[in-house]
Amino acid sequence: MSGVSAASVAVELGGGVLLAPLLPGLVQHWKARLQGRRGPSPLQPFRELRRLWGKSAVDPTGSSLVYRSAPTIVASSLTAAVLLVPVSARAPALGVGRDMLVLGGLLALARFAVAAAAWDVANGFSLMGASRDLTIAVSTEATLVLALAVGALVAGTTSLSGMIAGTAGGGVWSNPALGLAAVAFALVLVAETGRQPIDNPDTHLELTMIHEGPLLEYAGRDLAYLQWSAAVRHWLVLVLAAQVFLPHAQSAWEQLGVLPLVLVVLCAGLALTETLTAKMRILLAPRLLALGGIAALLGVASWLVQLT
């Protein structure tokens, strides 16, 4: 394995598994600053994970193995997704391959586990969150696949590392297909990370929850797994945004070097959007995401037009 491949693997595992909680931490930190508060330190998610790790679980009456195993299923499918999403064009495959369409399957598995757990404890608020999450996921998944498909068409492969290589440079500015796909992916990014205007991660009102709803009953290590998984979701989509849809360097070393910077800038962008926009009506969110899907479809069309 060459140096750059080893470094890619190190960044991928270290960043995805260990440093991912820093991303939501940064967003929360800057959001507080932008709103004129002091806010928590960016390291707050780590502190919370440590605190939760020391606490014991609470099993609601009547819950079964489905409820107890859901956090592990979510955490393991998100870990598999970390192994899937490369940080540079030279990252070697880590067993699970590098295919973009596998990502959708792994995220769907996590969604299924959480929603099934909500049914298992028969908590109305959890079910409300789960049913909204699944509704929004319909247009998110279609838009995600279409946006990635544009990248795949430009790069000529559905392998994510191949796509990083194939879209390197400033293609997003010059190539309308990639530009439109980037717009679509930006909406997917907001939906998958559960941020405003689609969802409000800070809400404490059960009636307004989407992603947080199904987590209501969990405590202790179960909750730690789920919060860590939410952070990993940030890592996955932000890395994809940085390395496929935003301008990125040709050489793998430069890709690795610039990545932390781009991630920090994207976190700041998320904090800014959260400050400037209010949460939209839940039923309008699928429409917004469908607009993203249409943008990606136009991206495919413009790629096909360029070809002829």
Partner 1 sequence: MTAWALLAAVALLGAGSAACAAPRTFRAGVAMQACGAALLGAAGFLAFASGTTFGSLFTSGMTPRFGVDGLTAFFLGMLGLVAAPTLAFAGRYLVPGARGGIIACLTGVFVLTLAEVLCARDPLTFLAGWELMTLLPAALILVGRSDESARRTVFLYIAVTHIAGAGTWIAVLLAAHAGVVDGARVLTPGSGVQIAIAVAALVGMGTKAGLMPLHSWLPRAHPIAPAPVSALMSGVMIKVAVYGLVRVLVDWLGVLPLWFGALVLSVGALSAVGGVVYALFQHDLKRLLAFHSIENVGIIVLGLGACLLLHTRGSETWAALALAAALLHTLNHAVFKSLLFLGAGAFERSVGSLELNRLGGLLRRMPWTGGAFLVGSLAIAGLPPLNGFASEWLTLQALVHVPAFGGLGDGLAGALGLAALAATAALAVFCFVKVVGLVLLGPPRRTAVAQADEAPLPMRVAVVALASACVVLGIVPGLLVASLARLAPWPVSIPTSFALRLPGTGSLPTVAIALVLGLLGSALFALRGRRVAATAPTWACGQLVEPQLAWTSAGFTKPLRLVLEAVLRPEREIAVHAEGGVVQEVSYRGRVPHLIDERLYAPAVRSALTAARHARRLQTGRLGTYLGYLIALVLVLLAAAKAGVIG
Hey, how many other C-beta atoms are within 10 angstroms of the C-beta on 290? 16
Choice from 5, 44, 135, 275 touching partner 1 (CB under 8 A): 135
Q: Residue 300 interacts with partner 1 (CB under 8 A)?
A: yes
Q: Residue 212 interacts with partner 1 (CB under 8 A)?
A: no
Contact region with partner 1 (CB under 8 A), list: 14-22, 58-66, 243-251, 267-275: 58-66
Crossing angle of helices 220-240 and 252-276, in 10° steps, is: 110
What region does 61 belong to: left with phi over 0, alpha with psi -120 to 50, or beta? beta
Q: State the Cα–Cα distance between residues 308 and 305, nearest whole angstrom.
A: 5
Residue 41 CB, nearest approach to partner 1 (Å): 26
Residues 138-177 that bind partner 1 (CB under 8 A): 138-146, 149, 152-153, 156-162
Contact region with partner 1 (CB under 8 A), list: 40-48, 76-84, 193-201, 261-269: 76-84
Q: State the Cα–Cα distance between residues 225 and 228, nearest whole angstrom.
A: 5
- Greatest CA separation found in the chain? 63
Residue 196 CB, nearest approach to partner 1 (Å): 18
Q: Which is nearer to partner 1, 60 or 257 (CB)?
A: 60
Residue that is written with structure tokens 């392998």 in the block: 159
Q: State the Cα–Cα distance between residues 153 and 227, nearest whole angstrom.
A: 34
Residue 277 CB, nearest approach to partner 1 (Å): 20
User: Which H or E run contains 88?
Assistant: none
Residue that is written with structure tokens 């919060």 in the block: 227
Q: Which is nearer to partner 1, 29 or 111 (CB)?
A: 111
Q: Residue 122 interacts with partner 1 (CB under 8 A)?
A: yes
Choice from 79, 88, 167, 227 touching partner 1 (CB under 8 A): 79
Choice from 13, 66, 249, 268 touching partner 1 (CB under 8 A): 66
Q: How far apart are the first and last CA of the chain?
A: 40
Q: Residue 200 interacts with partner 1 (CB under 8 A)?
A: no
Q: Residue 239 interacts with partner 1 (CB under 8 A)?
A: no
Choice from 60, 92, 176, 269 touching partner 1 (CB under 8 A): 60
Q: Residue 17 interacts with partner 1 (CB under 8 A)?
A: no
Hey, how many other C-beta atoms are within 10 angstroms of the C-beta on 219? 15
